[in-house]
Structure 1
């Protein structure tokens, strides 16, 4: 059994829709053998990260940066999980109103520091969330899960 940890901060209707599409992707019937653990960014712990085989992260872009909640997640888990989880597959989504540049930079820097392996191009979007974005979120997480199974 492979465990995929979905950690997200989804305070808006738009980001909540992305999180729901992501969860649907992790529960696709064709994947099988996947244990899905969902945590809000303020509740996720180092133990959750250490127990998982792959990661999907989601955040809003707030004031040009990742959400404070996701930053808190990284701040409280980083040192403990960095070495034992290096090489594990992951991907993420970022949703912003206007600009996601700082949030994108932060996610690249943090995940590089962790040594995680990007399994699918991140979903980066601003403005309205459409059906094509939700489909990509589903594909993103299914690919991360399949990478963990391989």
Structure 2
């Protein structure tokens, strides 16, 4: 049975686009056979995308100590329409944080707690100046989530 992973990630810069592409690359690893992947910007995603997925990977920048406005908009439009039917949805998150990412993490965790989604991996906070290793960390996160779906772990 095929599963579906939704990646919703804000990518306002070349580096954050690299992160979103890395998440998709990891999720699409050749050894993962029964998982399809949809990648969308937050402003292009909504409740129907959540309803159609078996897990979600979110990505955001840290904006003024909070998540991106685009990801917040995605949650604003999706929260109540999927609240009852998608409880327990496996989820993961990466944050590209120029500072410490604490406020961003807390904000997303609050919403995810309200939705009753299940964290399957500790949120990945990519702090400080850009590092090439960020890309491989996000790729690994995407691969982990898709592999977990593929193997039936979640």
The verdict on a shared fold, with TM-score over 0.5 as the criterion, is: yes
TM range (shorter): over 0.9
In the TM superposition, what whole-angstrom CA distance separates every residue of 1:51-110 from its partner, at most 9, and x where no partner exists? 000000000010100000000000000001122111121101111222311101011111
Whether 1:125 aligns to 2:142 is no
Aligned equivalent of 2:57: 56
Q: Which runs of 4+ in 1 moved over 6 A?
A: none
1:11-52: per-residue Cα shift (whole Å, max 9, x none)?
Answer: 012211111110110110011111111111001010000000
1:17 aligns with: 18
Mapping 1:1-150, distance limit 5 Å: 1-149=2-150, 150=152
CA distance in 2, matches of 1:103, 1:32: 33
Q: Assess if the C-alpha contact under 8 Å between 1:2 and 1:35 holds in 2.
A: yes
Structure 1 contact 88–148 (Cα < 8 Å) conserved: no
SS of equivalent to 1:42: helix
Aligned to 2:43, the other structure's residue is in SS state: coil
Count residues in correspondence.
150
1:116 and 1:129 map into 2 onto residues whose CA distance is 30
TM-score (norm 2): 0.92
CA contact (8 A) 1:46 1:81 kept: yes
Asked if the contact 2:100/2:128 (under 8 Å) is kept, the reply is no
Moved more, 84-93 or 131-140: 131-140
Residue 32 of structure 2 aligns to a residue whose secondary structure is coil
Q: Mind listing any 5+ residue stretches in structure 2 that lack a counterpart? A: none
Query: Whole-Å Cα distance in 1 between the matches of residues 92 and 115 of structure 2?
Result: 13
Normalising by structure 1, report the TM-score: 0.94
**CA-CA distance at 1:146 after TM superposition:** 2.3
Q: Secondary structure at the match of 1:80?
A: helix
Give unpaired runs (5+ residues) of structure 1: none
